[in-house]
Amino acid sequence: MNMTGSQVVVSSLQKEGVDLIFGYPGGVVLPLYDALYDFPIRHILTRHEQGAAHAADGYARVTGKVGVCIATSGPGATNLVTGIANANADSVPLVCITGQVGLAIIGKDSFQEADVTGITASITKHNYLVKNPLDLPRVMKEAFYIARTGRPGPVVVDIPKDVLTATIDYHYPEQVHLRGYKPLDEGKPAEVEQAAAALLAAKRPLLFIGGGAVSAGVAEAIIDLAETWQIPVITSLMGLGTVPAGHPLFLGMVGMHGTVAANLAVMDCDLLLGAGVRFDDRVTGLLSKFAPKAKIIHFDIDPAEINKNVPAHLRVVGHLGWSLPALRQILCTAQPLGASPERKEWIVQTTKWREDSPLVYQPDGQVLKPQYVIQELDRLTESNAILVTDVGQHQMWSAQFYRFNRPRTLVTSGGLGTMGFGLPAAIGAQFGRPDELVVLVTGDGSILMNCQEMATIVEHKLPIKVAIINNQVLGMVRQWQRLFYHHRYAYSGFAQGGTDYVRLAEAFGAVGLRAATPAEVPVVIEKALAVDGPVFMDFQVCPEENVLPMVPAGASLDQMIEGVID
């Protein structure tokens, strides 16, 4: 069948099961948009290309599908870069299609030209510059295969305009043949056997669960492993939701702003089994003192992660959907570990840490505390919303005080820490899960970075509820300046009074609400939840509040700041 390159691209999207894409048209990709006009794929016009990338990211996180976005050449493509880097850091599957100037004028500083493959080489799982129209079907097939298999990640397909307009005889390949890419789903049974033997011998084991477990869909296997063999569980920020917040074996999030129980458990365990984790610096604290008493076992699909940050005594490389059931099968031949006296003492100890040092703050009847806002959001949504966050103090308070009970219900920028991620990611999440409540918790710093996407939300009548934790400062920046820069608050505060977010919401056609006292918080949230459409809630909170506990950079996990910061 004869098709133009543009028709090939859109037909390929359809064959890959894509029914929704996010994008922004421009000159070079007009042939592609013209082809879209004749295909039953829904296109969401965001108000900025970065918004398109983050929206595709949010969609992918809540659905497990590959997110797709489109941008034109030059500035359109470069505006995707932050979103691509964000997805790469958190292993989110995206296919990003960019336009490129014609083949004859590439490299000649042409109008709206940028070296997209060069720019994105270090922030993608793979990228392509398609120079031959005949390669388009193969490249599109490979792009989706690479994005979704193995450790997921973003793939960029950069297509010159004359490739989009060329005509070829189109046949979509049924299989992918990549000599240099063979993702390993099933690994070596001997590695699992060694891990099982170490787990059986341990007296104080600890499960450390990361975002890879969410991607792999193995929450049930993790809960079964923890319950059957009585092993306490901690998670990274990205792993929240794999084990319900109220589970008796769950100790909370570990790391810089993790719980006391989780951090102390890492310091005292004799075996730490990490599944789908990167052991990044925000988790480990001082590397030389991380899990000092423990044998470390690392389960991961990506062999490059093994020993990258924390040396592993044992490794199990393979998809967690294979390795965890294989581990369970071996362990089932042994007596459950919960029967040992040492294991019972360990459970008692970790439970005591959790009960003695819960996440707390000092409530004030007159001053609105941000933690209280998150707690009320949790209570009034019955811990059942898809919670999207931006980055900063509000992100950590959300991780601490919202009770995540299901995987894929926290959408946040973990690895890159991208302010401005939240609003467009919430759009993608709402399109991906249209029947669920999507709540965005953001800061007055983050919300303005992509506030243009409020127009996208209103256009599509998306019932997203936005909670702005408005402390009129760059909260996390200010907290670090307070702790480590002698209260020298250099350029971290906003103008007195700040932005009127109620009027801003109304200017876009949304409902705007405000709360300035604790008593007003539940009233505002209940009003917002009753509105069948987008609502922006401005919570004017105490600017001096800090995220605690906190492990200072360069300190070990047992050197937490728990009390009041002067």
Q: So what's the pLDDT on residue 337?
A: 53
Q: In the structure, what pLDDT confidence band is assigned to residue 497 with cuts at 50, 70 and 90?
A: confident
Over residues 525-537, the mean pLDDT reads: 98
Q: How many residues in the chain? A: 566
Q: In the structure, what pLDDT confidence band is assigned to residue 91 with cuts at 50, 70 and 90?
A: very high
- Low-confidence winner among 249-263, 330-344, 398-412 (lowest mean pLDDT): 330-344
Q: Does the annotation count 476 as an active-site position?
A: yes
Is the per-residue pLDDT at 334 higher than 80?
Answer: no
Q: Which of 3, 7, 49, 508 is catalytic?
A: 49
Q: Does the annotation count 539 as an active-site position?
A: no
- Give tens-digit pLDDT for 377-393: 999 999 999 999 999 99
Mean pLDDT of the chain: 96
Distance (Å, whole) CA 410 – CA 236: 12
- Give tens-digit pLDDT for 20-44: 999 999 999 999 999 999 999 999 9
Closest CA to 477 of 454, 494, 463: 494
Over residues 257-280, the mean pLDDT reads: 98
Q: In the structure, what pLDDT confidence band is assigned to residue 565 with cuts at 50, 70 and 90?
A: low
| Distant-in-sequence, close-in-space partners of 349: CB < 8 Å, separation ≥ 6 | 268
> Is residue 486 within 8 Å of 555, Cβ to Cβ?
no
Q: In the structure, what pLDDT confidence band is assigned to residue 486 with cuts at 50, 70 and 90?
A: very high
Output the CA–CA distances (angstroms, integers) from residue 189 to 186, 219, 221, 320, 454, in the order listed. 9, 21, 18, 13, 51
Q: So what's the pLDDT on residue 339?
A: 59
Q: In the structure, what pLDDT confidence band is assigned to residue 364 with cuts at 50, 70 and 90?
A: confident
In three-state form (DSSP H/G/I as H, E/B as E, the rest C), the secondary structure along 439-489 is EEEEECCCHHHHHHHHHHHHHCCCCCEEEEEECCECHHHHHHHHHHCCCCC
Over residues 140-152, the mean pLDDT reads: 98
- Give tens-digit pLDDT for 276-328: 999 999 999 999 999 999 999 999 999 999 999 999 999 999 999 999 999 99
Is the per-residue pLDDT at 338 higher than 70?
Answer: no
Q: Does the annotation count 161 as an active-site position?
A: yes
- Give tens-digit pLDDT for 423-452: 999 999 999 999 999 999 999 999 999 999
State which amino acid sits at residue 397.
W
Collapse the DSSP code of 506 into the 3-class scheme (helix H, G, I; strand E, B; otherwise coil) and give the result.
helix
Is the per-residue pLDDT at 183 higher than 80?
Answer: yes
Q: Which of 14, 15, 112, 559 is catalytic?
A: 112
Q: Which of 65, 141, 161, 465 is catalytic?
A: 161
> Is residue 6 within 8 Å of 15, Cβ to Cβ?
no
Kindly write down the DSSP assignment for every residue of 106-121, as one continuous string.
TTS--TT---HHHHHG
- Give tens-digit pLDDT for 99-135: 999 999 999 999 999 999 999 999 999 999 999 999 9
| pTM of this prediction exceeds 0.95 | yes
Q: So what's the pLDDT on residue 566?
A: 60
> Which domains are delineated in the chain?
2-169 (3.40.50.970), 189-356 (3.40.50.1220), 370-540 (3.40.50.970)
Q: So what's the pLDDT on residue 302?
A: 96
Over residues 203-227, the mean pLDDT reads: 97
Distance (Å, whole) CA 130 – CA 160: 7
Distance (Å, whole) CA 542 – CA 525: 18
Provide the b/e sequence for 418-436 (b: ≥16 CB within 10 Å): bbbbbbbbbbbbbbbbeee
What residues pair up with 169 in beta bridges, in sequence order?
Answer: 2
Q: Which of 476, 537, 550, 560 is catalytic?
A: 476
Q: In the structure, what pLDDT confidence band is assigned to residue 365 with cuts at 50, 70 and 90?
A: confident
Is the per-residue pLDDT at 495 higher than 90?
Answer: no
Q: In the structure, what pLDDT confidence band is assigned to residue 335 with cuts at 50, 70 and 90?
A: low
Q: Does the annotation count 49 as an active-site position?
A: yes
Is the per-residue pLDDT at 222 higher than 70?
Answer: yes
Q: In the structure, what pLDDT confidence band is assigned to residue 184 with cuts at 50, 70 and 90?
A: confident
Over residues 141-162, the mean pLDDT reads: 98
- % of residues, the chain, pLDDT over 70: 99
Over residues 464-492, the mean pLDDT reads: 95
Scanning the structure block, which residue is given the tokens 């946040």?
412
